[in-house]
């Protein structure tokens, strides 16, 4: 797949005009044809929400670049089902302005955009950069992640594989395959405006709690190394399931 020009669907959750998306779009064009379908405004924390039974609009910003009034998952679903004549070779989501480590993947619209592609059997990548992005670090992240995608393609992963890539803002030169860390997102509720009889609140990030473990995305980022974490869809708790099955079988009356 890497020897021919690729067809790539690009999205994000920071919005169609986010600098990380624009940098990545430019670099991905070295691999082939890029069609960008991204939210018209920021959709951070949208997770895998879809606009079920709701109307949404799409507008062409420029050639092969579209803004959709919906979530990242909406963008990918719409592109795959209504815009493209055939499935793309890749779905790429990012570059997110901020890391997606640990259970951030549950909340992340960036990861959800890539996950929607993987659910359709397409090799997909979610790309995030830690810290506060700058032109220099975003350009480096876009260049590095494009080369990294090419390398992973050469490994010929199974169809529908999903990779969560996190890039330190220190312009790293190496990467590591990792597992998801135990970092926990902690959100606080903050009241910020009083309007008439009602009050308005928002969720803000609190102090994050994490458990240091070897070979995790968090460890790699802490060492200034790009983290590449393969993700899966099966959320079965096999340990608990096996335990309950054994318990159930022990108490089940013998058959006559």
Domain ranges of the chain: 6-182+211-251
Q: How far is CA 57 from CA 53, 74, 113, 154, 171, in A?
A: 13, 11, 18, 37, 37
pLDDT of residue 212: 75
Q: What pLDDT score does 182 carry?
A: 84
Determine the average pLDDT of the residues in 124-150.
96
Supply the mean pLDDT for the chain.
Answer: 91
Determine what percent of the chain is predicted with pLDDT higher than 90.
78
What's the CA dihedral at 47, 50, 56, 57 to 10 degrees? Answer: 60
Q: What is the mean pLDDT of residues 101-106?
A: 92
pLDDT surpasses 70 at 70: yes
Question: Nearest-CA neighbor of 78 among 50, 40, 97, 99?
Answer: 50
Q: Give residue 175's pLDDT band: very low, low, confident or very high (50, 70, 90).
A: very high
Domain 6-182+211-251 has CATH 3.40.1190.20: no
């Amino acid at each position: 797949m890497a020897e021919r020009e690729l067809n790539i669907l690009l999205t994000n959750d920071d919005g169609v005009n986010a600098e990380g998306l624009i940098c990545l779009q430019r670099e991905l064009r070295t691999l082939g044809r890029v069609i960008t379908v991204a939210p018209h405004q920021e959709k951070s924390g949208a997770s895998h929400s879809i606009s079920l039974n709701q109307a949404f609009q799409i507008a062409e910003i420029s050639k092969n670049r579209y803004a959709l009034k919906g979530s990242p998952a909406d963008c990918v679903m719409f592109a795959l089902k209504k815009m493209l004549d055939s499935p793309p070779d890749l779905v790429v989501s990012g570059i997110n302005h901020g890391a997606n480590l640990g259970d951030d993947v549950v909340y992340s619209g960036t990861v959800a955009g890539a996950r929607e592609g993987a659910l359709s059997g397409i090799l997909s990548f979610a790309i995030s950069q830690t810290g506060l992005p700058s032109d220099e670090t975003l350009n480096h992240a876009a260049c590095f992640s494009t080369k990294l995608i090419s390398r992973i393609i050469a490994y010929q992963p199974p169809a529908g594989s999903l990779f969560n890539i996190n890039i330190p803002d220190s312009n790293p030169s190496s990467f590591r395959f990792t597992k998801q860390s135990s970092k926990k997102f902690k959100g606080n509720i903050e009241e910020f405006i009083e309007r008439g009889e009602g009050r308005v609140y928002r969720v803000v990030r609190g102090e994050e709690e994490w458990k240091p473990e070897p070979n995790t995305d968090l460890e790699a980022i802490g060492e200034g190394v790009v983290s590449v974490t393969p993700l899966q869809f099966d959320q079965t708790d096999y340990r608990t399931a096996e335990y309950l099955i054994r318990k159930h079988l022990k108490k089940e009356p013998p058959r006559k």
